[in-house]
Structures are given as structure tokens and as C-alpha cells.
Amino acid sequence: MGAIFILIPALVILYLSIVIVQQGNVAVITIFGKYSRIMTPGLNFKIPFIEFVFRTISIQNRSAELQFQAITNDQANVYFKAMLLYTVTDNSEDQIKNVAFKFIDQANFMQALVRSIEGSIRSFVATKKQAEILGLRNEIVDDVKANLDHILNGWGYHLLDLQINDITFDEEIVKSMSRVVASNNLKAAAENEGQALLITKTKGAEADGNAIRISAEAEREAARLRGQGLAQFREEIAKGMAVAAAEMEKAHLDPSIILFSLWTETMRQVAQDGKGNVIFMDGSVEGFDKTMKQMMALNQNSENKQKK
């Protein structure tokens, strides 16, 4: 019977001496309210009634959802939804002591952490305009991390990540921003259409100018060729007349007959190729005599020029 009375208290003392710390946690031990040591995961022993487990601290990553409001430089309300990821800096004794004794409990720590993040974001947003906020998501996160890292290190924590999942504005601001975007899109479309029309007009003008230039060059070349043909035609006529005149002199005939023949051929050609034109010709003897004299005078004038 006496052995039972000894065994039961021994078992109670042994039970009270055993401390099992779960993986990913660290137990903080105090003696009469003063920090003594830490216990790592696994089976540990403490002195019953003297050592107490003050707090079990998780060294795993923790997350928290945040919702808060900020005001921009141009007095627009911005609403943020963010996800915070943080953890204990490491499981060293100094860091565990910071985590265990800096705050009364976890709720007070979370309140200080959330308010610090909100204050950092609000101070950053207060320097920006509403139109800039949506494009500064990464800059906001970087600014918060830079401001809070040293503060959290003093508390024994490290900020792993801050993700801003949603940024919204008041309904009126959203509507006005939509109108601005729509008007900018219309402006860009009008500018693009204007540029396209300008390009079309420019290309059309260039094409017309090229066509006119090509046509003018073709006309100039045609005129040159016509002039060359006419000159060659006149040269051939002159050669033919010279040969005919020489033959007439050999036959002791009047060279004016050649002029008469050319004149009659000309009249026949005019009558043949004419298209409804009325040509009056003096067919009388006086008229013919007058024409012959004029032609002989032209011939005589040409000979005098050649002699000179």
C-alpha cells in the first residue's frame, strides 16, 4: 500500500514534468514569471510547479487579410484589400524572447502590425494622385517593405510578402475614370483615323503628281518625236523637190510646174482628209495666176537666201 502512495505522486510529477512541443513551434519557459529557456519541438522536461510554459510560439509562416482606406493627394478615397505573409525571423533565443515578450498577446501584435502597414500605405498614397494609384501597385508594396522591415525585426518578425489584391475607388470616381478612358480612346481613334486619311491623301497626291509627271514627260517625248518626224518630212520634201527641179532643167521645163503640182496635191489632200470643213478656193485663171506668182516669189526668196 505504501508503494502505491509513492508511485501515484511520482507518476503525477512525471506527467507534469513532460512537455511535448509540436513541430514548427517553440515553447517559452519561465521560472516564477521570469524567462528561463526555450524548448524545441519534441519531448522536453520541465521542473513541475517551478517552470511553466509561458507561451508556445509558431515559427511557421502566417498570413492575414487586410482591408483599409486611404486618401490620395487630390482627395480621392481609395480602398485596399491586401494579403500579408509574415513569419518569425528565426528560432534563435533572442528572437523568440522578442516575439514572446514584446506584446501582451497575439491580438495586440496583429493590431500593431496592421496599423503600421496601413500608416505606411496611407502616407505613400497621400503623395500620389488617383490616376497614378492603379499603376503603382508594386511601388506601394516595395515602399511598405522598406519601411516595415526594420520595425518587424525589432519585434522578432520578418515580412515575407505583401500582396495588394484589389484597389477600388468611390463609384463616382470610377464612373469619371471610365469616361476619361472612353474619351481618350475616342481621341486616339480620331487621331489614328486622321493619320490614316492624311496618309491616303498624301499617297493619292503623290500618285497624281507622278501620273502628271509621267504624262508630261510622255507628251514632251511625243512632241520631240513629232518635231523630228516633221523635220525629216520637210527634209525629204526638199530633197525630192531638188531632184525634181534638176530633172525639169534637164528636160528644159519650167520648174514652177513642180510648185503647181505640189499645190494641187495639197488641195487634194486637204479635201480628202477634211471632216466637214468648208474650204473656198479661187479656181479662176486670175486666181491661179496670182497663186503661181506667190509661189514663184517664195521660191525666188528661198534661192536668194541660199546664195547669201
DSSP 138-207: HHHHHHHHHHHHHHHHHHTEEEEEEEEEEEEE-HHHHHHHHHHHHHHHHHHHHHHHHHHHHHHHHHHHHH
Is the CB of residue 153 less than 8 Å from the CB of residue 99? no
Instruction: Give the pLDDT score at 1.
Output: 57
Is the CB of residue 67 less than 8 Å from the CB of residue 81? yes
Is the CB of residue 59 less than 8 Å from the CB of residue 67? no
Q: Is 117 exposed, middle or buried (0-12, 13-18, 19+ CB in 10 A)?
A: buried
| 121-155: pLDDT as tens digits | 888 888 888 777 777 888 888 888 888 878 888 88
Q: State the cell numbers at 260.
A: 503647181
Q: In this prediction, what percent of the chain has a pLDDT beyond 90?
A: 4
Instruction: Give the pLDDT score at 305.
Output: 55
The answer to whether residue 308 scores a pLDDT higher than 70 is no
| 156-211: pLDDT as tens digits | 888 888 888 888 877 776 666 666 667 777 777 777 877 877 787 777 777 777 77
Is the CB of residue 53 less than 8 Å from the CB of residue 46? yes
The answer to whether residue 302 scores a pLDDT higher than 70 is no
How many angstroms from the chain centroid is the CA of residue 213?
39
The model's confidence at residue 17, banded by pLDDT at 50, 70 and 90, is: confident
Instruction: Give the pLDDT score at 30.
Output: 92
How many angstroms from the chain centroid is the CA of residue 64?
38
At 34, give phi and psi (nearest 5°).
Answer: -110, 140
Is the CB of residue 163 less than 8 Å from the CB of residue 83? yes
Instruction: Give the pLDDT score at 125.
Output: 86
Q: What is the mean pLDDT of residues 70-86?
A: 85
Domain spans, the chain: 2-58, 62-169, 178-250, 254-308
The model's confidence at residue 226, banded by pLDDT at 50, 70 and 90, is: confident
The model's confidence at residue 26, banded by pLDDT at 50, 70 and 90, is: very high
| 242-291: pLDDT as tens digits | 676 676 667 666 666 666 676 677 777 766 766 666 666 665 657 666 76
CATH number of 62-169: 3.30.479.30
The two counts, helices (H) then strands (E), for the chain are: 8, 8
The answer to whether residue 234 scores a pLDDT higher than 70 is no
Pairwise CA distance, residues 207 & 211, whole Å: 6
Task: Give the Å distances, CA to CA, from 200 to 176, 204, 206.
Answer: 36, 6, 10
Pairwise CA distance, residues 198 & 277, whole Å: 51
At 22, give phi and psi (nearest 5°).
Answer: -70, 155
